Amino acid sequence: MKKSVILFFLLISVQTFYSQTKEWTLEQCVAHALENNISIKQSELELESTDIDKLVAVGNFLPTLNANANGAKNTGLSLNPTNNQLENMTFGTASGAINVGLNLFDGLRNVRQLQRAKLSKLSAQYRLDQMKDDIALMVANSYLQVLLNKANLEVARSQNEVTQEQFQRTSDLVEAGAIPRGDLLEIQATDASEKQRIAVAENTVRISLISLAQLLLIKDYSNFDIAEEDYDIVEDGIAALEVEEIIENAQATRSEVKIAEQSVSLAKKDIQIAKGAYYPTVSAFFGYNTRYANNDPLNHTFIEQLSLNDGIGYGVQLNIPVFNGFTVRGNVRRNEINLRNSEYLLEQAKLDLESNVYQAYVDAKGSRKAYDAAVVALESQELAYQYAKDRYDVGLTNAFDFSQSKLRYDNSKIEVNRTKFEYIFKLKVLELYFGVPASELKF
């Protein structure tokens, strides 16, 4: 009995957990996409690779250390490495060396490379941020599209319920001889048309859910659904600000401009690196080597020979570039051209951002006006529908005129839904341009 009770509560807990996790909220969808989206993962790998570039740049400041060893068997006239004498006999030899090198000066190219690696990492971080914003916006748009389709489906179903009630009432009036049978046929035609629209609306909801699931990389389409949340129209918020203020904040915070600015900084750093090849390079070196041969006439042991036959070399090397076929000059000029191009791209990025913000601002304002107009139109159509219904109930209008009034009322509801979610989305786009992080968007 005790086990049965435990099993019962376990099943209830599992069922409760399933019911809680079956339907996804918008925040959960965005968080899931930011964690699992393939494009974001690729951007994260790009960011990770910049750490490798930085590691290599730091390593250029460190000494190099290399060791080598070899062994050989010599037959006939061969050079004995221990005494540098030619000997006509068979003997074995071994040698080894350790070499250390240190770059003392290379025209500051190592310094510039490290600085460039840091700039490259920052640029990759901005690209990742932009990718996250884009993905979050795509998820929000897809999520709101599902909500819109569900709202339209609810309109179609609720209005068909009204049609069913009218069908029963019309049947009674026809049987009583109060209205012609043609009115009943008109109601039946309306019912059939509405059922068809319901089927199309259900299919539209299903397709939009699948599209959202695919965007989230969720393969269990049959069990995927979103939470039935009611997103009300909020105050204009950022849309109430002056567009110039939004543009100024966008240029200070948006990744598009930051990426372009980093490209300019990287181009400047590339010029400095290229110019470093004009300067001499200074390096230090240290080497240790030793050798062994098994035909030593004094029969020294292996360890003794390594000690007796070793040598050390060290010094400083200076390399002065004199003429390299215009290679250095060509690289400098190529990077100078790249800098000018990066500056043009930065200017274009600012212009594009300004244009996009203006467009988003106008879209948000226009969407709000469209929504307000749709609400007013719905109120008028509701009154007209109620008037037509009252007249139809007392036989003062026919079924066709009533069905047309009802259709206009239905379309008004659908238009309110469309403009509502369009305004919400346009407002979120404007908030992103203002600098609100994608993960902090409020709906």
For 237-264, what is each residue's pLDDT tens digit?
778 888 888 898 888 888 889 999 999 9
Torsions phi, psi for 84 (to 5 deg): 55, 35
> In whole numbers, what is the pLDDT of the chain averaged over residues?
85
Q: Residue type at 349? A: A
- At residue 314, the pLDDT reads 92
Residue 220 contacts residue 226 (beta carbons within 8 Å): no
HEC per residue, the chain = CHHHHHHHHHHHHHHHHHHHHHEECHHHHHHHHHHHCHHHHHHHHHHHHHHHHHHHHHHCCCCEEEEEEEEEEECCEEEECCCCEEEECCEEEEEEEEEEEEEEECCCHHHHHHHHHHHHHHHHHHHHHHHHHHHHHHHHHHHHHHHHHHHHHHHHHHHHHHHHHHHHHHHHHHHCCCCCHHHHHHHHHHHHHHHHHHHHHHHHHHHHHHHHHHHCCCCCHHHCEECCCCCCCCCCHHHHCCHHHHHHHHHHHCHHHHHHHHHHHHHHHHHHHHHHHHCCEEEEEEEEEEEEECCCCCCCCHHHHHHHCCEEEEEEEEECCCCCCCHHHHHHHHHHHHHHHHHHHHHHHHHHHHHHHHHHHHHHHHHHHHHHHHHHHHHHHHHHHHHHHHHHHCCCCCHHHHHHHHHHHHHHHHHHHHHHHHHHHHHHHHHHHHCCCHHHCCC
| CATH superfamily label, 21-62+106-279+321-438 | Outer membrane efflux proteins (OEP) (1.20.1600.10)
Would the pTM count as exceeding 0.95? Answer: no
More confident: 84 or 22? 84
**pLDDT tops 60 at residue 221:** yes
Q: What are the domain boundaries of the chain?
A: 21-62+106-279+321-438
Q: Which two tokens stand for residue 261?
A: 């600015």
- Compute the CA torsion angle 317, 322, 328, 332 (nearest 10 deg): 100
> What percentage of the chain carries pLDDT values higher than 90?
42
More confident: 86 or 113? 113
**Which of the residue ranges 19-28, 140-149, 279-288 has the most confident prediction, judged by mean pLDDT?**
279-288
Average pLDDT for residues 6-17, to the nearest whole number?
A: 40
CA distances in angstroms from 81 to 86, 89, 90, listed in the order given: 9, 14, 13
- At residue 237, the pLDDT reads 75
**pLDDT tops 70 at residue 179:** no
Reported as a single tens digit per residue, the pLDDT across 309-331 is: 888 999 999 999 988 888 899 99
**pLDDT tops 50 at residue 112:** yes
**pLDDT tops 70 at residue 7:** no
Taken in order 409, 413, 415, 416, the sign of the CA dihedral is positive
